[in-house]
Structure 1
Amino acid sequence: MPWSSRVPDTIDALVDTFKTSPEFEGVTVWDGPELSKANPLEMLTIGFTGDDNDSDVETTTLAEGLASSPNRETFTVRCAAAVLNGKADVRAARRRAYELLSGAGAVLARDPHLGHTVLRARLGAHTFKQAQTDRGAQAIVVFGIDVDAYTGR
């Protein structure tokens, strides 16, 4: 098998895991940028933050010890948890956005290996933004999922 990155498998595993986890019941989970006219009130995007100036994944690959294969790959998958509260209740929107972030942490704590896809996946750094829009209070937590894996060979 030729060399391969674990990024595609990891994103697939994250999407599949989050879509079926009880923490995200009723939450729209999108695999990267979706072509949809839907405007969900609560959503989680995997491998996409909505910011055209931000990368969706950042990766570093290094040789593992003195072995020629496999390589060690560390990367961050950028995600976003967004909540829109139509009642303009910014406090409720903010708290719910952070509940979604906590849900992601709980899912990763239950299976940090993503079904044997990676060595370890865990929550990384996050940023937070809130605003009042014409549709209500909006809260967005952009967060990274830090991953440690071996490349395929």
Structure 2
Amino acid sequence: MGSRVPEVIDALVALGKAEPVYEPDGDGTPGVVVADGPQVTDNSMPDWLVVGFDGDPNGDFEAATSVGGWADFSTGREEEFQITVAAIASRGDTDIVTARRRVYEIAAPVEAWLRADPSIGLRSVEAAIVGTRLTQDQTDQGAQAVLLLSVAGRAFTLP
């Protein structure tokens, strides 16, 4: 199947791993872990950007959806896609306000990439954030905010 979804996920992960804002600060502030889908790790970093996963270990682990059809009878296929990206901010205290502000800081570069280049460096692709969903929780480890981004767009695939 000629889906462009794997390329789009790869491009978003690469942009995240190259993002200077996600590096640790000199003042001891930890960086942001950029992950491609769910991770099996003992990493206790508080801040994450996860491409292709909603951050819910009890969820359905859906990374993306797509629908497509022929753009014309001989030269290609048009695909509409939607990819889930989760920004996660966890704290060791109950300060949900700080967790919520932090999760929006983590998500801000994703919006900036898509505004600056909706193709995210890929030929015949355009994408944007079309919706968000914020959840907030107080866990045994402290406050946690999760901002789910729906990165949606369309792409063309040649046969």
Question: Is the CA contact 1:6–1:152 (under 8 Å) kept in the aligned structure 2?
Answer: no
Distance 2:154 2:44 in 1: 34
Question: Is the CA contact 1:6–1:118 (under 8 Å) kept in the aligned structure 2?
Answer: no
Q: CA RMSD in A?
A: 1.6
Distance 1:152 1:144 in 2: 25
Supply the AA of the counterpart residue of 1:50.
Answer: G
Question: Is the CA contact 1:63–1:72 (under 8 Å) kept in the aligned structure 2?
Answer: yes
Supply the AA of the counterpart residue of 2:109.
Answer: G
Could you tell me the percent identity over the aligned residues?
Answer: 35
Question: Is the CA contact 1:121–1:145 (under 8 Å) kept in the aligned structure 2?
Answer: yes
Q: 1:110: how far off?
A: 2.0
Misfit runs of 4+, over 4 Å? none
Aligned to 1:55: 62
Aligned length: 150
* Residue 33 (structure 1) aligned with residue 38 (structure 2): yes
Distance 1:9 1:29 in 2: 17
Aligned to 1:122: 128
Q: Which has the higher contact order (CA 8 A, sep 6+)?
A: 1
TM-score after normalising by structure 1: 0.89
* Residue 137 (structure 1) aligned with residue 135 (structure 2): no
Q: Which runs of 5+ in 2 are unaligned?
A: 24-30
Given candidates 23, 46, 57, the residue that maps to 2:21 is 23
What secondary structure sits across from 1:150 in the alignment? strand
* Residue 94 (structure 1) aligned with residue 92 (structure 2): no
Q: 1:50/1:8 Cα in 2 relative to 1: closer, same or farther (>3 Å)?
A: same
Question: Is the CA contact 1:84–1:136 (under 8 Å) kept in the aligned structure 2?
Answer: yes
